[in-house]
Amino acid sequence: MTEEQEVFLKHIQKEGLKRTGQRDLILDVFLSTEGHLSGEDLYQLVREKDPTVGQTTVYRTLRLLTDAGLAREVRFGDGRAHYEHNYKHEHHDHMICSECGKIIEFYSPELEAIQDAMAAKHKFQLTEHLLRMIGICADCRREKRQLGAQSNKPAKTSAARASRR
């Protein structure tokens, strides 16, 4: 049994719940993924392995994973909750592309120091923080430039072709 499985088992027992094959499968599928999954994403991945698992079971298990400290809910402004690994994972923040939805994770000690300084200045005890920066990624900006360059090329008209003859 992995450490994460032990953490989950202890949590559900503390909640008065039983270990089930479906909960184990949902945990295993979640732990085998990297990145940010919505509840729907996880549901689809679990259904590929066992079509009898219901959507409600997946969402309830996600809540248990979050409460156990194995998952962390994050919101990227698309109206959906996403989940990422939380247990023994380093703190990080997110940049989200408003064009394609790409998510870039980063850590900045400078930003952490500024946040701590602001909290101290206002005598505010930080318990956690979430930072999400929204903008346009390099790939989308490059694509826009290329599309803009193509649309700025003058169209070859019959008059222009005739003047070159």
Predicted confidence at residue 162, as pLDDT, reads 46
User: Mean pLDDT in runs of 10 for the chain (165 residues)?
Assistant: 93 96 96 90 97 96 95 84 84 88 88 93 90 92 87 56 44
142's enclosing H/E stretch is helix 138-151
Predicted confidence at residue 164, as pLDDT, reads 43
Question: What does the pLDDT look like over 78-99, one tens digit per residue?
Answer: 788 889 888 877 788 889 899 9
Give the integer Cα–Cα distance in Å for 74 and 81. 6
Question: What does the pLDDT look like over 28-43, one tens digit per residue?
Answer: 999 999 888 999 999 9
Beta carbons of 102 and 141 less than 8 angstroms apart: no
Architecture of the domain defined by 1-89 = Orthogonal Bundle (1.10)
Predicted confidence at residue 163, as pLDDT, reads 43
The conformational region for residue 11 under phi > 0 = left, psi -120 to 50 = alpha, else beta, is alpha
Give the integer Cα–Cα distance in Å for 133 and 105. 10
The total number of residues shown for the chain amounts to: 165
Beta carbons of 47 and 57 less than 8 angstroms apart: no
Predicted confidence at residue 137, as pLDDT, reads 95
Q: Which two tokens stand for residue 142?
A: 């490059």
Beta carbons of 27 and 4 less than 8 angstroms apart: yes
Taking the domains of the chain in order of start, what are their residue ranges? Answer: 1-89, 90-152
Q: How far apart are the first and last CA of the chain?
A: 79
Inter-CA distances, 152 with 80, 89, 114, 148, Å? 38, 47, 44, 6
Predicted confidence at residue 153, as pLDDT, reads 61
Architecture of the domain defined by 90-152 = 2-Layer Sandwich (3.30)
Give the integer Cα–Cα distance in Å for 63 and 8. 11
